Every structure is written in structure tokens, then in C-alpha cells.
Amino acid sequence: MRIGILGAGGMADALGTRWAGAGHEIMISGRDARASAARAAKMAEMAEAAGMPGTPGITGAPGITGTPGITGTPGAPGTTGRVTAGSWAEAAAFGDVVVVAVREAGLVDVLTASGPALRGKPLVDVTNAADPAAYDPARSPALLIARLSGGHVVKAFNLCHVDVWRMRPPVFDGRPLAVPLCGDDPAALAAARTLVTDLGCTPVDGGGLARATQLEATAAFMIGLWFGGADAQAVLPPLEWSGAHTPA
């Protein structure tokens, strides 16, 4: 798949490097063409190195396993996709799917500069509110992106810190990370599911795009807990204690 990424920061780097490792063609974009090109070159190098046997994944926290060279996730040597950099409009035109990975403050400018290429395309929105403490449901980045671009937005990847997306693969206590997806368009959701599974994660149906605001609120709330030093994962019970679930 050709993946255009609006953004050349941490999220573009982490996700783009993993997807290049899985064989996708990546084009990132930022405000500084030289810095973006340098980052793209580094991403290509990292994606290639990750496919080398014996290259460890990110480890370092108890219960986190980075599996080196897991089949179907990082590419084997020579199977990584190309990583290039372009303008916002070039990345928008390049992608079969376009990932929006810019700061909230830049969204309007970046979407305007991306031009009409986004119309009707699958767009994966990873953004969060700039200040989770001041989260405002009336200012949903996902709904703003849908309105300004005319693309088919799927909200995803916004619940976890960038370092999680660098893991190969994100597995905690033996359980692959589940990634909720909120979107309306079947083709865009299918593309997003592929991007999730190519990281070694499990896609979860999070409902339509209207529920993206809930995903954004969840991120803001969880980030608040994490920054307060709480284990946000511990606040939710297992499925069998969810009340709503009737085992088959």
C-alpha cells in the first residue's frame, strides 16, 4: 500500500518505520523539506535494520516483549518499502491511504495545503487535542479533518504513546495490543485494519466516526491518569466483569 503521512514528527516516524518494515511505500511531510528528507532516510535505514535477523525489538519495561523479526510484521531484509519525503500536497496525493499525524495547532493549515487530493480518500487520524487537560468535545480533530478534507476518516492509534508504536510488536503480558477504529467508510476501515495488523496489533470495531470524539475523550482522560502516575490500564475490569457481556 502507498501511505502518505501528513507529519514528520514522532508518530510519523514510529508508525511509518513499522509500516515500511511491513513492505508499504511511505511518504512523510513536514514544514521543513530538508528535515523531513533526513527523517525519511533515517526511517528507511531503521526499517531495513529491523528486518535483519537478531535485531531486537524495543524492550525495557517489565512485561513488554519486542519480538525480533516476527513474521508478517517487520520485513525481511530487502522487503521493506521505500520511505520518501514530500510536500503536504505530495504526500496527500501519494497515499492510497493518508495518515494525519500533525499537532492540533497545525491541522487547518496542513489540510488546506494538502489540497483536493484528500477528497474521498481513506484518512487515518492519529491526532489528539493539544492539551488533554483542556480537552473540549466541541473541538474534535477527527470531525474537523472530515469536514475540511472530504476524506473518509478513521480515528485510530491515538490511545498510546509514540514509544508503543515503535515496539515490534506491541504485546503486553503476552497479549497483542488492541486498537479501536472509529469510522464510517468500509474501504477506509479495511485499510486501517490492515495498518493495525501490520504492526502486530488487533483491530477492534469502535463504531462510526461519530464515536471518534469518545476515543479522543478517552485519550485525554487516560493521559491525565498516566501523567498523574496512575496505571490507567488497571481502571478497567476484564471482559467477563463488564456486565454487558454474555458468554456464549
Ligand X SMILES: NC(=O)c1ccc[n+]([C@@H]2O[C@H](COP(=O)([O-])OP(=O)(O)OC[C@H]3O[C@@H](n4cnc5c(N)ncnc54)[C@H](OP(=O)(O)O)[C@@H]3O)[C@@H](O)[C@H]2O)c1
Minimum CB distance to ligand X smaller for 109 or for 205? 109
Minimum CB distance to ligand X smaller for 185 or for 216? 216
With contact defined as beta carbons under 8 Å apart, do 174 and 233 qualify? Answer: no
Minimum CB distance to ligand X smaller for 106 or for 176? 106
Minimum CB distance to ligand X smaller for 51 or for 84? 84
Q: How far is Cα 226 from Cα 238, in angstroms, rounded to an integer?
A: 20
What's the closest the beta carbon of residue 194 comes to ligand X, in angstroms? 20
What's the closest the beta carbon of residue 46 comes to ligand X, in angstroms? 16
What's the closest the beta carbon of residue 163 comes to ligand X, in angstroms? 7
Radius of gyration of the chain (CA): 18
What's the closest the beta carbon of residue 4 comes to ligand X, in angstroms? 13
Q: How far is Cα 36 from Cα 30, in angstroms, rounded to an integer?
A: 6
Report the interface residues with ligand X, using CB under 6 A: 7-12, 30-32, 101-106, 109-110, 126-128, 158, 161-162
- The residue written with cell numbers 463488564 in the block is 242
Question: What is the torsional sign of CA 207, 213, 216, 218?
Answer: negative
Which residues have CB under 8 Å from 46's CB, separation 6+? 17
